[in-house]
Amino acid sequence: MSDFGQFCPIALASEVLAQKWMLLVIRELNAGATRFNDIRRGVPRISPTLLKQRLTQLEAAGILFTRSLQGSRGVEYVLTESGLELKSVLGAVGQWGQRWARDISADDLDPGWLVWAMHRRLDQSLMPDDPVTLALEFVDGPAKQRFFWLVCSNKAVEVCVKPPGFETDLWIKTRVITLAEVWRGIRPIQPEIAAGRIDMRGSSDLQRQFPTWLMYSLFAGVERPPRSSLPLA
Amino acid sequence: MSDFGQFCPIALASEVLAQKWMLLVIRELNAGATRFNDIRRGVPRISPTLLKQRLTQLEAAGILFTRSLQGSRGVEYVLTESGLELKSVLGAVGQWGQRWARDISADDLDPGWLVWAMHRRLDQSLMPDDPVTLALEFVDGPAKQRFFWLVCSNKAVEVCVKPPGFETDLWIKTRVITLAEVWRGIRPIQPEIAAGRIDMRGSSDLQRQFPTWLMYSLFAGVERPPRSSLPLA
DNA sequence: CGGTATCCCCCGCGATACTG
DNA sequence: CAGTATCGCGGGGGATACCG
């Protein structure tokens, strides 16, 4: 994917950006990930080989640079000014995707990805000072992706796939599609709770507060227009 | 390129948009092209087979629809509302590309593409009422891409690769890179003319007016920052 | 944790020719 | 003009195993 034979800026940009997985890797970096395996968690289906290749291409294109870490092995991947400015591309693509992309199917509904996306969009300023442990159960999730825990302190939110050892303060039980569509801003959360499709158990204070922490997808506020029927047909 | 396994709007949009040639095809459509071979002229290196495939994918994604033409055979490719909204993506990508994409090389300098791009960006409101025929000679162009003619009426601008049969009113002789960099907004045009690197012959009225017709690339006004040296190195 | 190494398959894509 | 048809290859990328 390197030669379009024209010097249009869209063509030149496409050489780098219009490759498989590339925008998703850039999305992770712009969301704050700097470590190899953190990026992988946001792009679970990319192979490590290919991820490394994409990161190398991004470095060659001047979109990121690497910085070695003291203490830990490996490097940090840090966006340059050029990479940070890709936020405008991510915004335009995401906004268009929210409005016009195809409907989602069962194969898109990765519960692990949803949890990973959510954990970055919990408003820590609203959380109590004491750490809170949330348990998520996806009743229709595959065996290995059925339970997740979110350990929220006012410093950070961590995702666990095994019980973290702390007492769980709030249990949330739902189907993947339910939480996914709430996350996408397609359904409001309150009716889902009221109808029991999002089933919460635990401290009633937390039950009331939790929905306010959740900031949803960055594009949740973008309205999805009705699919117009075939034009002129 | 169909399965990223996540329902992020950027991932869903990428399935369609992040394929080879796709953004360039969309660029042509958004620039007003509706006919198969008009699109090809803006994306000369795509094969007809692949172009047809891309157009089919765009239709399946609801980005365009086809409309049969009376009189001529073939169809017209017309953007839907969804397709028109991709202008924001093209804008973001083009802007980023103008600022941060790699420098161009000799292989990017297709004179035919430059002329095709230019012919859409001549301000017809400034042209005289009488038709004007411009001849372009690229002194370093390959034999078959050395001469072009632009026939400008106040209705439309047409590109010819053979003498159009009208008297040429203005000859313009230059190297490809010179006009390309002027087009990109990287060099101002007046010094190029003054230094004779853009050599014009013909009516002195037209010599004065022509530079005012030329609207340059859509991204010519976007400043290209200096490449920062290696960060922290 | 942060990657390499290897293998292999498939299909995306380029090239060319042809047709109504 | 607006595509189809056909062929063939190259390498992109998926899967898996391994390593420091």
Instruction: Tell me whether B221 touches chain A (CB under 8 Å).
Output: no
Nearest to B177 by CA among B104, B121, B102: B104
Tally of domains in chain A: 2
Residue B9 has its nearest CB partner, among A9, A10, A219, at A219
Confidence bin at A15 (pLDDT 50/70/90): very high
Q: Is A227 on the interface with B (CB under 8 A)?
A: yes
Is A219 part of any domain?
Answer: no
**Conformation bin of residue B71: beta by default, left when phi > 0, alpha when psi is -120 to 50:** left
**Which of A:194-213 have CB within 8 Å of B?**
none
Whether B61 and B122 map to the same domain: the answer is no
Q: Is any atom of strand C within 7 angstroms of residue B48's beta carbon?
A: yes
Query: Do A115 and A206 sit in the same domain of this protein?
Result: yes
Q: Are residues A127 and A203 in the same domain?
A: yes
Domain hosting B52: range is 9-100
If asked whether residues B204 and B144 sit together in one domain, one would say yes
CATH number of domain containing B16: 1.10.10.10
Q: Is residue A229 part of a domain?
A: no
Q: Do B65 and A113 touch (CB under 8 A)?
A: no
Protein-covered nucleotides of chain C (CB closer than 7 Å) are: 1-6, 12-17, 20
Given a cut of 60, whether residue B230 has pLDDT beyond it is no
* Smallest Cα distance from A217 to chain B, Å: 9
B141 plus B201 within the same structural domain: yes
Of B72, B100, B128, the last residue of a domain is B100
Where does a domain end: B100, B135, B151?
B100
Query: Which of the listed residues A77, A100, A123 is the one where a domain comes to its end?
Result: A100
Do both A135 and A91 map to the same domain? no
| Cα–Cα distance for residue pair A214/A208, rounded to 1 Å | 12
Mean pLDDT for the stretch of residues A9-35? 97
Q: What is the pLDDT of residues B39-94, one digit of tens each?
A: 999 999 999 999 999 999 999 999 999 999 887 778 999 999 999 999 999 999 99
Sign, Cα dihedral of B43, B48, B52, B53: negative
* Mean pLDDT (chain B, rounded): 94
The nucleotide lying nearest A52 (C-alpha to C1') is: C3
Helix, strand or coil, per DSSP, at residue B2: coil
Best to test chain B binding among A70, A100, A121 (most B CBs inside 10 Å): A100
Residue B226 included in any domain: no
pLDDT above 70: residue A229: no
Check: CB of residue A18 under 8 Å from CB of residue B20: yes
| A74 backbone φψ class: left, alpha, beta (φ>0; ψ -120 to 50) | left
- Statement to judge: residues B144 and B171 lie in one domain: yes
- The CATH number of residue B181's host domain is 3.30.1050.10
Nucleotide nearest to A40 (CA to C1'): C2
Cα(A78)–Cα(A65) distance, integer angstroms: 5
Least confident of A93-107, A218-232, B70-84, B108-122: A218-232
- Are A19 and B18 contacting, i.e. CB atoms less than 8 angstroms apart? yes
CA dihedral sign, ordered A169, A174, A177, A182: negative
DSSP A125-159: GGS-SS-EEEEEEETTS-GGGSEEEEEE-SS-EEE
- Report how far residue B221's alpha carbon sits from residue B119's, in angstroms, rounded to the nearest whole number: 19
- B45 to chain A nearest CA, in Å? 7
Same domain (yes/no): B201, B117: yes
Proximity of residue B73 CB to strand C below 7 A? yes
Q: Are residues B176 and B142 in the same domain?
A: yes
A94·B231 Cβ contact <8 A: no
Distance CA B174, CA B90 (A): 30
> Is B143 contained in some domain?
yes
The nt closest to B39 (CA vs C1′) is D2
Burial class (CB in 10 A: 0-12, 13-18, 19+), A125: exposed
| Assigned domain for A224 exists | no
Considering the domain architecture, whether residues B165 and B84 belong to the same structural domain is answered as no
The reply to whether B153 and B168 lie within a common domain is: yes
Which nucleotide in the DNA or RNA is closest to residue B50, CA to C1'? C13
Cα of B135 to nearest chain A Cα, Å: 22
Show which of residues 73-132 on chain B sit within 8 Å of chain A, judged by CB atoms: 78, 80-82, 85-86, 88-102, 104, 107-110, 113, 117
At B151, the pLDDT band (50, 70, 90 cuts) reads: very high
Q: Is residue B2 part of a domain?
A: no
- Asked if residue A119 and residue A92 are part of one domain, the reply reads no
pLDDT digits (tens, 9 = 90+) for A70-129: 877 789 999 999 999 999 999 999 999 999 999 999 999 999 999 999 999 999 999 999
The answer to whether residue B223 is domain-embedded is no
Q: Is residue B4 part of a domain?
A: no
Closest-CA residue in chain B for A42? Answer: B6
